[in-house]
Amino acid sequence: MNRRRLSPMPYIPGELRSKTLSHLVAIVAIVVAGTLVFALVDGQSLGDSFYFIVMVMTLIGAANPHTFAGELVAILVAVLSVGVILSFMTQILGPAALTAYWGAHRARKASRMKNHIVLCGYSDTARVILRHLPKDQVLVVVKDRATADALTEQGSAAMVGDYETVEVLRRAGVSESRAVIAASPEDSENAFICLTSKKIAHDVPVYATVSSQENLEKLREVKADHIISPALLSAEAILKSLAAAPSSAA
């Protein structure tokens, strides 16, 4: 049997992208402004000034400026550059490294799971299910990294991916699991989870939740082994309670 590879999916949060862009803009601004001002106050050509500013920013160093004003510009550029570099390390490299670490940690944890339960989606039903199952026997597959990070912090095994696709469900180890639970809030997603899971391993039982009673037949058509309707179960519980309650006197 081929060993499953669970490499973390490439992901760059929107906030991280915006911070990276802002730092790049700051670097370009320092280079352009520093070059123009240094050329003006030190009397050097734009090419020489650009070279000097880049050398100062990269802390390599260059020939001494010709004027005192040029020295002040060099000091200012060096200080600003160090500030941008430190900010880049703390606001971008640090979070990026943590994101990569948690992704690799989830991948390693998931790759060791056998005879587990693959829980797709994180609806209210999924939350209740997860509370009542041993965390070391369940792999939760979600579409957003924030939810996966929160689950990991709670001690659950989680991975990020589109659980409607063959690739992601293969990486989740459906063929080596003992059951798949389709617990997305969207019935259409649960139908695709059933279809894809049966395509990978037709003998693994699939439990599917359904929100709308109109979609019950559709889930039967995609060969879900067990279909659970929270709304129907709630209605049956209420009706049983009403039937058992003594009727009040008129």
pLDDT in tens, 135-176: 888 999 999 888 888 888 788 888 888 999 999 999 888 988
Res 99: pLDDT = 64
> What does the mean pLDDT of the chain come to?
82
pLDDT in tens, 63-93: 678 888 888 988 898 888 888 888 888 877 7
Q: How far is the CA of 113 from the CAs of 15, 45, 101, 238, in angstroms? A: 33, 64, 19, 39
Q: How confident is the model at residue 111 (pLDDT cuts 50, 70, 90)?
A: low
CATH topology of domain 14-102: Helix Hairpins (1.10.287)
Instruction: Read off the tokens for 98.
Output: 């943590």
Res 121: pLDDT = 92
Nearest CA among 207, 203, 184, 205 for reference residue 120: 184
Q: How far is the CA of 139 from the CAs of 23, 80, 111, 188, in angstroms? A: 38, 47, 10, 21
Superfamily for the 113-241 domain = NAD(P)-binding Rossmann-like Domain (3.40.50.720)
Taking 80 as the threshold, does the pLDDT of residue 211 lie above it? Answer: yes
Beta strands in 92-201 (DSSP E): 117-120, 138-142, 157-160, 179-182
Taking 90 as the threshold, does the pLDDT of residue 180 lie above it? Answer: yes
* CA end-to-end span of the chain: 71
Map residue 165 onto helix, strand or coil.
coil
pTM for the model stands at 0.57
What are the domain boundaries of the chain?
14-102, 113-241
- DSSP string computed for 184-246: -S-HHHHHHHHHHHHHH-TTS-EEEE-SSGGGHHHHHHTT-SEEE-HHHHHHHHHHHHHHHSP
Taking 60 as the threshold, does the pLDDT of residue 14 lie above it? Answer: no
The one-letter amino acid at 199: K
pLDDT above 70 as % of the chain: 84
Res 58: pLDDT = 81
What is the separation of C-alpha 17 from the centre of its chain, rounded to a whole number of angstroms?
A: 14
Res 8: pLDDT = 40
Look at the block and give the residue holding tokens 């640090």.
94
Q: How far is the CA of 192 from the CAs of 182, 208, 227, in angstroms? A: 9, 10, 14
